[in-house]
Amino acid sequence: MIRKKIAAIIKEAGDRCVQKGIFPPETEIKPIIEIPKELEHGDYSTNLAFSLARSLRQSPEVIAKALIERMDFEDVCTKVDVAAKGFVNFHVRDEVYRSALKDVVKQGVESFLPDVGEGRRVLIEFVSSNPTGPLHVGHGRGAAVGDVLANLLRKAGFDVVTEYYVNDAGRQIETLGRSVYLRWKEIRGENVEYPENFYQGAYIREIAGRMIAEGLPIPEEEPEAVRFMARYAAEVVLVGIQKDLEDFGVRFDNYYHERTLFEEGHVDGAIEILRKAGYLYEQEGALWFKMAEKGDEKDRVIIKSDGEKTYFASDIAYHSQKFARKFDILIDIWGSDHHGYIPRLKASIEALGEDKERLKVILIQFVTLLREGKPVGMSTRAGQFTTLREVMDEVGKDAARFFFLMRKSDAHLEFDLDLAKKTSNENPVYYVQYAHARIESIFRLAREEGIDLAEGSEADVSLLVLPEETELIKGILRFYTVIEGGARSLEPHRLTFYLVELVGSFHSYYNKVRVLKNEVSLTKARLTLLYALQQVIRSGLEIVGVSAPDRM
């Protein structure tokens, strides 16, 4: 909110320079405002003078001075100066921060959230793991990123729908059915050869056993039995996945089944559109999509020569449906091993006549679990991958979610299981939660002394004169910048970084400054500051989906 004021001040000064003929009339005043790293460089700065220097054929310093001379900054800043040969530095009045704090306390932290979305409709599709086995840690990371991004975008004014795409039509489901079928035969005493590419996990046998225990009417003939078991197993696995997700704090608005794409004719419909638009051709009995001319490496098959449609075909139909469902922005969250798929999907969206820029793909890099500093083996082939459930059981939901968001999603993540369980400042989750609990503890004692927080908004915040206090207020206000930046760049991990940093300055303040047992007016002022701080921490943790305990 202060940033906007600074921007207005610069703009005004720039316009005046144009009016007075100091800058040529066509000069565009689009200031980039940043927060300097060095405190001495003020609260905000702009490099506008540098960017104008070339077109104005003037030194940045001269331009900067011309700007400042025509600047009305008194209301917001104590001083504005030129540094380092052209940077314009703004030193904001402490009162401005204090009154911003007052606004936040009075109206609530959330009432100042930036409206980035302006009501635009966003569909976030994530996890979308095939219902052929339990979720592993990689899916967990995707789930955390997707869920937190959804929370973040909602706070930032988007109309968000989350969706899980269930691949229940393809080959893998058939393999699942066959896997169960073989284990079923095995349990009944038959000798079977179990192929390596079948699902290896113990859950396959369990499902087979369960079918027997429940006395289900299993068809006589093998093809029917396989189909029956595929359906049954997919259902069981999906329910398990949903349970895992729920315990992980992730709830989807929608489950979209691939099968419905076929049943409702959307796959044929999409193919028809592409055919009419001239993107398809037949060769060697298969139907091909002309991709090479659309930016992909080569042409791709949509219908195989055996008549079966490829995964790609249903994906085109699915995304076509997403557009048909009137979403402004589509966000897909995939494992980074699918990155080669992006040009293909974007090309097909373009071919369907939609704007491919409206699809944003977020790639999730792999997770390496560490125990005692060593990577934990995760070979899928042996069926001994680490499941999300195991990690959750071991470190808890809060730590798991927080840890998944401690790196930007396209970077490898090392997940230190021992660290996630530690209850010390080394563990960022506890570090943040502890700050929340600590503040609450101060409030409890204050109440015992008869100082009620409800009076907080009447406190005299002008008593908050310590530099640490101004820094804390700045930290609180930065929440809005982080939400805005995170929503714009689709980077939910910024939130965890922010929280750790914010809370760090609180712990430091706590050790240095007494809140209670001062003059009542000063105590109240400081309680007010902590009140706003706690609200921000709680709101931030809520977005991340981590609990904010009152006691630890």
Residue number, 211 or 540, with CB nearest to RNA? 540
Across the strands, what pairs with 329? 122
- Owner of token pair 């006691």: 551
Residue number, 161 or 516, with CB nearest to RNA? 516
Residue number, 191 or 424, with CB nearest to RNA? 424
CB of 378 to RNA, least distance (A): 11
Q: Residue 263 contacts by C-beta under 8 Å, 6 or more apart in sequence?
A: none
Residue number, 25 or 340, with CB nearest to RNA? 340
Residue number, 269 or 504, with CB nearest to RNA? 504
C-alpha to C-alpha distance for 491 and 475, rounded to whole angstroms: 19
The secondary structure element, H or E, covering residue 166 is strand 159-166
- For residue 193 the two structure tokens come to 């050869």
- Owner of token pair 């097909």: 348
Q: What is the CA radius of gyration of the chain?
A: 29
Residue number, 122 or 446, with CB nearest to RNA? 446
Single-letter code of the amino acid located at 24:
P
Q: Residue 269 contacts by C-beta under 8 Å, 6 or more apart in sequence?
A: 317, 320
CB of 359 to RNA, least distance (A): 16
Name the DSSP class of 385: P
What is the crossing angle of helices 60-69 and 48-56, to 10°?
110
Residue number, 120 or 210, with CB nearest to RNA? 120
- For residue 182 the two structure tokens come to 């073989």
C-alpha to C-alpha distance for 65 and 458, rounded to whole angstroms: 41
Residue number, 80 or 143, with CB nearest to RNA? 80
CB of 332 to RNA, least distance (A): 13
Q: What are phi and psi of 463, to 5 degrees?
A: -80, -10
Q: 222 in helix, strand or coil?
A: helix
- Owner of token pair 């904010």: 548
Residue number, 54 or 276, with CB nearest to RNA? 54
CB of 149 to RNA, least distance (A): 16
CB of 502 to RNA, least distance (A): 11
Which runs of consecutive H residues, i.e. helices, occur in 59-134? 60-69, 94-107
Query: Among 180, 223, 222, 221, which Cα is nearest to 198's?
Result: 180
Name the DSSP class of 309: B
CB of 59 to RNA, least distance (A): 9
Which runs of consecutive H residues, i.e. helices, occur in 251-340? 258-263, 266-276, 311-324
CB of 176 to RNA, least distance (A): 11
Residue number, 255 or 497, with CB nearest to RNA? 497
CB of 363 to RNA, least distance (A): 8
CB of 412 to RNA, least distance (A): 5
CB of 190 to RNA, least distance (A): 27
C-alpha to C-alpha distance for 473 and 433, rounded to whole angstroms: 19
